[in-house]
Structure 1
Amino acid sequence: MGVFSLWVVLGSPFAHADSDADKPSAVDRGRQALTSRSFLKPEWSLEIYEKVAELWGEDAPDPEADPEGYALAFARRYGLHPAPFPNDNLPMGLKRSTDPSTGRQGLQVDCLVCHGGSIGGQSFVGLGNSQLDMIGLYQDFFQADGRPIFFTGFTVNTVRGAVNAGQMAAVLISLRKPDLSRRLFPVLHGSKFPETDVPAWWNIKYKDTTYYDGRTDARSVRSNMQFMLGEKTREQFEELEPTFADILAYLNSIEAPEYPFPIDSELASRGRSIFQNQCAKCHGSYGDEPSYPNLIIELDRIGTDPARALAPSDLLVSHYNSTWFGEESPVDEVMTGYQAPPLEGVWATAPYLHNGSVPTLDHLLDSSSRPDRFRRPPSTDFKHYDTDRVGWRVEVLDPVSPEAANRDQDRSIFDASRYGLGNQGHTFGDGLSPSERRAVIEYLKTL
């Protein structure tokens, strides 16, 4: 066979290389899918973005005369952030959506309502949204749309920046049979999830298991799809699975932002040695040869609020594992405690612990200093950022009774007496001297 014949049969290697180069990678496809597509039908009309201002009072900026002022007021009211990608002039987390069966257009929330945040005026896909007021947004949108007040039967959030994604997922899966057909009556699984902080996506790549309790395989594609259980069929889930595999590839490509302020390199070097001796066993090592141990720490050892770890009942886990979601990556039936997270970009992820109960790294490493009740800052601008303690400057408030805390409608206030929001535990830094603690914090700025 001649050279020309081989060229025809096998194809030109140069043409093949060019065609492969032209094909978008899984990461590129995933980025495009996450940032440009809406996977759910519209929940509200397109007009709701402007109409909701009627509930704010006379001081609301005019959305037509002052669109920039209105966008800022809207973002501050609900804790949303500018999208760092084209998004129809909507903040990150809101998306235009079309009902494929009717062609009706409207608005819907997407993953980035929780997993899109900002710090120092810059927005990041994958940074947990520490400002989000999910229940405030839903209540206002439903009221402005002339519909019954939004009611879930469980706490969505009592404080900005926290969200009860666990209970949302538990409710949705309880309404499906193992084959994902709909049930007439929900599975009464008895689980009670608390609201939690939103973790950073850029650390997923380091983990073998995911979620705070480390009971789900981090490579699971289907577990990231469960929030579409409100409307998708089994066939639709199967059709979308390759797209969500691409999205997971994109999530695994996200890198943490670098600390934007000066770092004392000599102090950080000292802190690195202390960290390696006292923290790396659980949280991993960083630098030229990074390693992460993927440890799940027993509840009695970590000592942090146990509500999230104890939330999934055996019946819920069994039911989940019996469905299409559990076929791929079943949830571990054994509860151990909490996964010690990787710490890349930890400077940007305040407040700390799984429930966001600790304002700064200094408070984290000195448990006696943690405030039980405080007001979170009104934005993630750097004027509210504490570069010494690393985290958010907060207004410490006097404690109140748990009953009064539960009645408090000011969702800028964090109260550790509420269910699942205890600020105890992780006392491993208490034995450090003040100078050692300062050195460790300086080193953590470099991650």
Structure 2
Amino acid sequence: MTRRIFSLLMLLAWSPFVLAEGPAGDPQAGYEHLVNTPYLPRYFDQETFDNVWRVWPEPLKSQAEKATPEERRQMAFDRYGLTGRPEDPTKPLQYVVDKKGEWTLNCFSCHGGQMEGKTIPGLPNNRFDFAGITDEIRLTKAMLGKKLIPGDYSSLVFPLGENKGTTNAVNFGVALMSLRDADLNVVPGASFPKMLHHDMEPPPWWHFAKKENIYLDGFAPKGHRGLLQFTLVRENDAQAFRDREADFRDVYAYLSSLEAPKYPGKVDATKAEAGRIVFNRQCSECHGTYGDQADYPERMIPIDEIKTDRARFDSLTPAHRQGYGDSWFNSYGQQEGLIADPEGYVAPPLDGVWATAPYLHNGSVPTLWHLLHPDQRPKIWRWSGSSYDHQRMGIDAEALDEFPKGLSAMERREVFNTTRLGKSAAGHDYPNALTEEEKSAVLEYLKTL
């Protein structure tokens, strides 16, 4: 049972591994595959979702009882970080829902977010509560007398994410790959290695097109095969990955087609131009240039230089990375570019950075203003709502002196504690070299990317 539980944990679109150069595919077909094809076992049915409000705490439960079915649905969407699809708001972007009303998690659970009421496929979903929906769906199934599946127990035995919008994605991949051989056959008697559990903020999908290698440490050459790794549940045998390869050529094409959303607010053009000059002088060496002379260097920064939280860096060993590189996902090592022992983290492109709060790879910094002011990053902060802070560019957050007491599990996931393992907001202190005027100009310039 334990292995089956772990095998159902790889429910994320962007596991910590990927591969091989992808042949041309159809971007629209790729999107349709993601929202309409269940690549994982079904998770729950429509009846369960329609009744999940019955396990909510008061006064929310009473509010839901008095609401219409449509209002209750929206309350559930808001509670768990779900959104309607751009083409059909009545359907959840983050789940495949078949004709029988069976719900199956898809890639957009982590990579389909919302900005000021607008759903943006490819945007990191900073409101998704993986642990919360898992716990409350399990309770609802038990209340309705429905059969539980291994995935219902996952949050009880494996950390899913200490904060909303984050997941333990790297260790999902480590756990599931440890059960397979290079051909992706399940190995009888295989056991899980020791893992350093930590949370990650998903990257925006529109960065995919710019990169040769992906993931924070840039170890994996990108390609269509590795995108299938999120389906490494035991129910999928080795042949299933071969059978779905054509689908994921289309998914690869879809990811490659995405572009960053444009900032919807006002921009001070004069100030932004001053910020562009400062940015190109101080930041472009790592993050690249934009506009007519766009160039992305894909530069890896040694961990002792960047000094951001190193739990992600320490969580994968050279053996983990090489094991992936020798597998079918990487064409048994034929795909060039694998980095088994990287030095640190790769500085990401900043297209659409205004929309991707919170910042740093673990989501520890609530706004771009805080990113530009390292000494003023809050040690403990809490979401103040779902509105966007246009002044500081990011989450509308409240700084706290200490972690509040007496919170429910879901309320605790609204509070970010940077003193926890893997949660540090330290590092990336390069903005300290800028004056306050220069920081303000750079902040304005970042709106234009």
* TM-score normalized with structure 1 length: 0.86
1:406–1:418 contact (8 Å) kept in structure 2: no
Q: Distance in 2 between matches of 1:393 and 1:160?
A: 14
**Given that residues 113 and 129 in structure 1 are in contact (C-alpha distance below 8 angstroms), is that contact kept between their aligned partners in structure 2?**
yes
Amino acid at match of 1:129: N
Provide the rounded CA distance (Å) in 1 between the counterparts of 2:219 and 2:179: 22
Question: What is the CA-CA distance between 1:41 and the residue it aligns to?
Answer: 2.7
* Equivalent residue in structure 2 for 1:309, among 310, 313, 322: 313
The residue aligned with 1:34 is: 34
Offset at 1:121?
0.6
Per mean C-alpha deviation after superposition, the further-off stretch among 315-324 and 432-441 is 315-324
1:55 alignment partner in structure 2? 55
Query: Any residues of structure 2 matched to 1:45-194 within 5 Å, and which?
Result: 45-57=45-57, 58-62=61-65, 66-86=68-88, 89-97=90-98, 106-146=102-142, 147=148, 149-151=153-155, 153-194=157-198
Tell me how far apart the structure 2 counterparts of residues 130 and 408 of structure 1 sit (CA, whole Å): 14
Cα separation, 2, equivalents of 1:404 and 1:182 = 44
* CA–CA distance in structure 2, aligned partners of residues 113 and 167 of structure 1: 17
For the 8 Å contact 1:143–1:149, the answer to whether it is kept is: no
Hey, what's the Cα distance between the residues in 1 that align with 2:118 and 2:403?
A: 36
- In structure 2, the CA distance between the partners of 1:127 and 1:410, relative to structure 1 (3 Å rule), is same
Counterpart residue number, 1:244: 248
Query: Secondary structure of the equivalent of 1:392?
Result: strand
3-state SS in 2 of match to 1:69: helix
Code of the aligned partner of 1:256:
A
Does the Cα contact within 8 Å between 2:368 and 2:392 map onto a contact in 1?
Answer: yes
Which residue in the other structure is 2:364 paired with?
357
- The residue aligned with 2:437 is 435
Gaps of 5+ in 1: 1-23, 99-103
Deviation at 1:31, TM superposition (A): 2.1
Q: In the TM superposition, what is the alpha-carbon distance from 1:324 to its structure 2 partner?
A: 1.5
SS of 1:414's equivalent in the other structure is: strand
Cα deviation, residue 366, structure 1: 1.2
Q: Would the aligned equivalents of 1:42 and 1:97 in 2 still touch at CA under 8 Å? A: no
2:288–2:294 Cα contact (<8 Å) kept: yes
> What's the TM-score, normalizing by structure 2?
0.86
Aligned mates of 2:365, 2:296 — CA distance in 1: 23
- Does structure 2 conserve the Cα–Cα contact (< 8 Å) formed by 1:97 and 1:105? yes
CA apart distance, 1:407:
8.8
Equivalent residue number for residue 426 of structure 2: 424
- Counterpart Cα distance in 2 of 1:221 and 1:60: 45
Work out whether residues 35 and 85 of structure 1, in 8 Å CA contact, stay in contact via their aligned partners in 2.
no
Q: Structure 1 residue 267 and structure 2 residue 268: aligned?
A: no
- Does the 8 Å contact 1:195/1:420 carry over to 2? yes
- From the superposition, tell whether residues 317 and 178 of structure 1 become closer, same or farther in structure 2 (CA, over 3 Å): same
Flag the 1:425–1:406 CA change in 2: closer, same or farther, 3 A.
farther
Instruction: Determine whether 1:333 maps to 2:340.
Output: yes
After superposition, the C-alpha distances for 1:235-288 in whole angstroms (9 at most, x for unaligned) are 110111121111111111111111111100000000000000000000000001
Do the aligned partners of residues 413 and 281 (structure 1) sit closer, same or farther apart at CA in structure 2, a change above 3 Å counting?
Answer: same
Once the two structures are superposed, the pairs formed by residues 289-308 of structure 1 within 5 Å of their partners are 289-308=293-312
Q: Which residue of 2 aligns with 1:18?
A: none
| Alignment partner, residue 389 of structure 2 | 386
CA distance in structure 2 between the partners assigned to 1:25 and 1:62 by the alignment: 46
Distance in 2 separating the partners of 1:66 and 1:273:
53
| Map of 2:17 onto structure 1 | none
Q: CA deviation at 1:69?
A: 1.0
The 8 Å contact of residues 189 and 313 in structure 1, kept in 2 or not, is answered as: no
Q: How many angstroms apart in 2 are the aligned matches of 1:295 and 1:317? A: 19
Aligned equivalents of 2:197 and 2:382: distance in 1? 23
Match of 2:350 among 340, 343, 347: 343
Note the 1:366-377 alignment, pairs <5 A: 366-377=373-384
Q: 1:136 to 1:400 in 2, by over 3 A?
A: closer
Q: Return the alpha-carbon distance in structure 2 between the equivalents of residues 92 and 373 of structure 1.
A: 31
Q: 1:95 and 1:250, CA in 2 relative to 1: closer, same or farther beyond 3 A?
A: same
AA aligned to 1:54 is R
Partner of 1:3: none
Contact 2:30 2:250 in 1 (8 A): yes
The alpha-carbon deviation at position 408 of structure 1 amounts to 9.2
CA contact (8 A) 2:25 2:252 kept: no
Q: Report the counterpart of residue 213 of structure 2 in structure 1.
A: 209
Q: RMSD between aligned alpha carbons?
A: 2.5
Task: For 1:210, give the aligned amino acid.
Answer: I
Corresponding pairs, count? 411
* Aligned counterpart, 1:6: none
CA shift in 2, pair 1:72/1:238, >3 Å: same
Cα pair distance change 1:408/1:123, threshold 3 Å: closer
Between the two structures, name the one with larger relative contact order (CA 8 Å, sep ≥ 6).
2
Mapped contact 1:189–1:315 kept (Cα < 8 A): no
Q: Percent identity?
A: 34
- Mark the CA change 1:213 to 1:68 in structure 2 (over 3 Å): closer, same or farther: same
Secondary structure of the corresponding residue to residue 104 of structure 2:
strand
* Most deviating of 241-250 and 30-39: 30-39
Letter in 1 for 2:357: A
Deviation at 1:204, TM superposition (A): 0.9
* Matched residue SS, 2:157: coil
Q: Is residue 200 of structure 2 the alignment partner of residue 200 of structure 1?
A: no
Following superposition, the deviation at residue 376 of structure 1 comes to 1.7
User: SS state of the match for residue 293, structure 2?
Assistant: coil
SS at 2:433 equivalent: coil
User: CA 1:48–1:241 in 2, change beyond 3 Å: closer, same or farther?
Assistant: same
Against the structure 1 CA distance between its residues 305 and 443, is the aligned structure 2 distance closer, same or farther, given a 3 Å change threshold?
same
Equivalent of 2:325, from 321, 325, 349?
A: 321
Q: Deviations over 1:302-326 (max 9, x none)?
A: 1100010111123322332332223
Gaps of 5+ in 2: 1-23, 143-147
Q: Which amino acid aligns with 2:417?
A: D
